[in-house]
Amino acid sequence: MKVGIQKVIEFKNVSKTYPNGVKGLKNINLTIEKGEFVVVVGLSGAGKSTLLRSINRLNEVTEGEIVIAGKSITNSSGASLRRIRRDIGMIFQSFNLVKRSTVLRNVLSGRVGYHSTFRTVLGLFPNEDVNLAFEALERVNILDKAYTRADQLSGGQQQRVSIARALAQEAKIILADEPVASLDPLTTKHVMDDLRRINQELGITTVVNLHHVDLAQEYATRIIGMRAGEIVFDGPVEEATDDKFSEIYGRPLQNNELLGATV
């Protein structure tokens, strides 16, 4: 192993068959290193979400092993599984915030994995936690909304709250499953910029599923192409030419796979 390079996520012969027989992942072998900004692309149904959600075990895989920073998450359970999950922040297409709670409470909910049930239920977060939450909100520029209810924010603001939640979690890995799919082009740029800044400034390993090829080319350091549950392309962003994308998609690129000149 080269000095200074750490394997953060490792897939070893991972396969996933859904109960209805659909093969979501077929014998995946993959290593992601610290600080990478990986974008996963592929047609709808290619298995991008399945891949991403296997990393923190929101999906169970049926074969193989996934290792997170040296610990096998597929063999963990109970407290040790939660300990691994604590280091992995997740950002969803639909934000998944508790709409009736304040922004601050949503961000603080990223901290519960660090404390006892009793303490969190009583709302006794230590001051450092609250400061961490404020810093996270500051970093995504919505500090002034801390005491606003989440359902009173725009989509872009809500997505930034969920990024703040992952930051407050002090996650070492951030997984984002189509984080911008329900946002307009301008907001998309803000959110992607936030993700890139966090990746570069804090060195958080980031794995993002995206539909838009040009976004992938703009933000990724490494691109993984999937088709029918298999990895059909894996390489640095420079190698991912339009021709390669056509290969991943099995056909020429279409207009709706480009965000276009709007950004």
Partner 1 sequence: MSEAARKGMKPKKNRAGLWGIYLALALIYIWAFSGMNLPEIKPTAGQITKSIFNGMFHPDWDYVSDPGGEDLLHGLLDTLAIAALGTFISAVLCVPFAFWAAANMSKGKAASGTGKFVLSFIRTFPELVMAIMFIKAVGPGSFAGVLALGLHSIGMLGKLFSEEVENMDLGPTEALMATGANRFQILWFAVIPQVITGFLSYTLYRFEINVRSAAVLGVIGAGGIGTPLIFALTSRDWNRVGIILLGIIVMVTVIDLISGYLRRKIV
Partner 2 sequence: MMNQPIKTSIPKPPSKIKNYVTLLLVLFLLWGSSIQTDSSLAELVAGFPNMMDLLNQMVPPNWGYFDNITDAMLETIRMAVIGTTFGAILAIPIALFSASNLIQNIWVFYPIRFILNLIRTVPDLLLASIFVAIFGLGSLPGILALMVFSIGLIAKLTYESIEAIDPGPLEAMEAVGANKIQLIVFGVIPQVAAHFISYVLYTFEINVRAAAVLGLVGAGGIGLFYNKTLGFLEYDKTSSIIIYTLVAVLAIDYISTKLREKLL
Ligand X SMILES: Nc1ncnc2c1ncn2[C@@H]1O[C@H](COP(=O)(O)OP(=O)(O)OP(=O)(O)O)[C@@H](O)[C@H]1O
In the complex, which residues of this chain contact partner 1 (CB under 8 A)?
56, 58, 82-90, 92, 94-101, 105, 109-110, 112-113, 117, 120-121, 162, 165, 169
Q: Which is nearer to partner 1, 16 or 111 (CB)?
A: 111
What distance in Å separates the CA atoms of residue 51 and residue 228, rounded to the nearest whole number? 12
Tell me if 30 sits within 8 A of 224, measured CB to CB: yes
Total Cβ atoms within 10 A of residue 240: 23
* Nearest distance, CB of residue 88 and partner 1, angstroms: 7
- Amino acid occupying residue 66: I
What distance in Å separates the CA atoms of residue 99 and residue 80, rounded to the nearest whole number? 29
160 binds, among partner 1, ligand X, partner 2, none (CB under 5 to 8 A by kind): none
Structure tokens at 149: 């209810």
89 binds, among Mg ion, partner 1, ligand X, none (CB under 5 to 8 A by kind): partner 1
- The structure tokens 């490792």 sit at 10
202 binds, among partner 2, Mg ion, ligand X, none (CB under 5 to 8 A by kind): partner 2
Closest by CA position to 236, among listed 55, 36, 50: 36
Helices (H) and strands (E) in the chain, counts: 9, 10
Residues within window 142-161 making contact with partner 2, judged by CB under 8 A: 143-144, 146-147
Interacting span for ligand X (CB under 6 A) from 14-22, 31-39, 79-87, 213-221: 14-22
Q: Is 48 in the site for ligand X (CB under 6 A)?
A: yes
- The residue within the footprint of partner 2, chosen from 136, 174, 210, 240 (CB under 8 A), is 136
Q: Residue 251 class from Cβ within 10 Å (0-12 exposed, 13-18 middle, 19+ buried)?
A: exposed
* Nearest distance, CB of residue 247 and ligand X, angstroms: 17
* Nearest distance, CB of residue 232 and partner 1, angstroms: 27
Q: Is 50 in the site for Mg ion (CB under 5 A)?
A: no
Q: Which is nearer to partner 1, 9 or 240 (CB)?
A: 9
Structure tokens at 231: 């990895």
* Nearest distance, CB of residue 120 and ligand X, angstroms: 30
Q: Is 54 in the site for Mg ion (CB under 5 A)?
A: no
Phi, psi dihedral angles at 115 (to 5 degrees): -125, 170
Tell me if 70 sits within 8 A of 173, measured CB to CB: no
Residues that bind partner 2 (CB under 8 A): 132, 134-136, 138-139, 143-144, 146-147, 167, 170, 202
